[in-house]
C-alpha cells in the first residue's frame, strides 16, 4: 500500500517528536563538544547504554503523558501540539519509506 503525505499528520508527528524527544535529555548530549578523535566514525558508539536508556525512558514518559492528554485532556494536548508545531515549522516533512531493517517488530 502506497501512503500519501497527510500534512496534518506530518505536523502532529513532528510536534510529538519535539515534545517527547528533542526537548529531553538528548539536548544535553547534543550541547556537548564533538569528539575530535571519533567524530564521524560510524563503527564507534557515540551514546553509552546508560544515556540510551535515559533517552528512551524520557521519550516513553513524555509520549505516555501526551497520549494520555490526547485521550483525557484534549485541550492540553492541542496546546502542547501548538507549542510543538511552532518549534518544528522549518523541519522537513516525513519521508514515506519502509522502516529500516531491524527496526520493525517481528
| Residue 70, in any domain of the structure | yes
pTM of full prediction above 0.95:
no
| Residue 51, in any domain of the structure | yes
Give me the pLDDT at residue 4, please: 87
> How many structural domains is the chain composed of?
1
**Domain enclosing residue 67, as ranges:** 47-91
| Residue 102, in any domain of the structure | no
Poorest-pLDDT segment among 64-73, 84-93, 95-104: 95-104
Higher pLDDT pick, 106 / 65: 65
Q: What percent of the chain has a predicted confidence (pLDDT) above 90? A: 55
| Residue 68, in any domain of the structure | yes
| Residue 73, in any domain of the structure | yes
Give me the pLDDT at residue 106, please: 45
Give me the pLDDT at residue 1, please: 58
On whether the CB atoms of residues 18 and 88 are closer than 8 A, the answer is yes
Average pLDDT over residues 76-89: 96
On whether the CB atoms of residues 20 and 62 are closer than 8 A, the answer is yes
| Residue 14, in any domain of the structure | no
| Residue 13, in any domain of the structure | no
How is residue 97 annotated by DSSP?
Answer: -
In three-state secondary structure terms, 44 is coil
Give me the pLDDT at residue 43, please: 80
pLDDT at 95 over 80: yes
Average pLDDT over residues 19-47: 80
Distance between terminal CA atoms of the chain? 19
Q: How far is CA 3 from CA 9, 94, 95, in A?
A: 12, 11, 10
| Residue 27, in any domain of the structure | no
Amino acid at each position: 500500500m502506497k501512503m500519501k503525505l497527510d500534512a496534518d499528520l506530518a505536523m502532529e508527528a513532528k510536534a510529538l517528536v519535539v515534545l517527547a524527544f528533542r526537548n529531553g535529555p538528548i539536548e544535553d548530549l547534543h550541547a556537548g563538544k564533538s569528539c575530535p578523535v571519533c567524530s564521524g566514525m560510524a563503527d564507534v558508539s557515540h551514546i553509552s547504554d546508560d544515556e540510551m536508556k535515559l533517552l528512551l525512558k524520557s521519550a516513553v514518559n513524555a509520549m505516555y503523558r501526551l497520549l494520555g492528554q490526547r485521550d483525557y485532556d484534549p485541550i492540553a494536548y492541542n496546546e502542547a501540539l501548538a507549542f510543538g508545531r511552532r518549534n518544528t515549522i522549518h523541519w522537513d516533512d516525513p519521508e514515506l519509506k519502509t522502516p529500516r531493517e531491524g527496526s520493525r517488530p517481528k
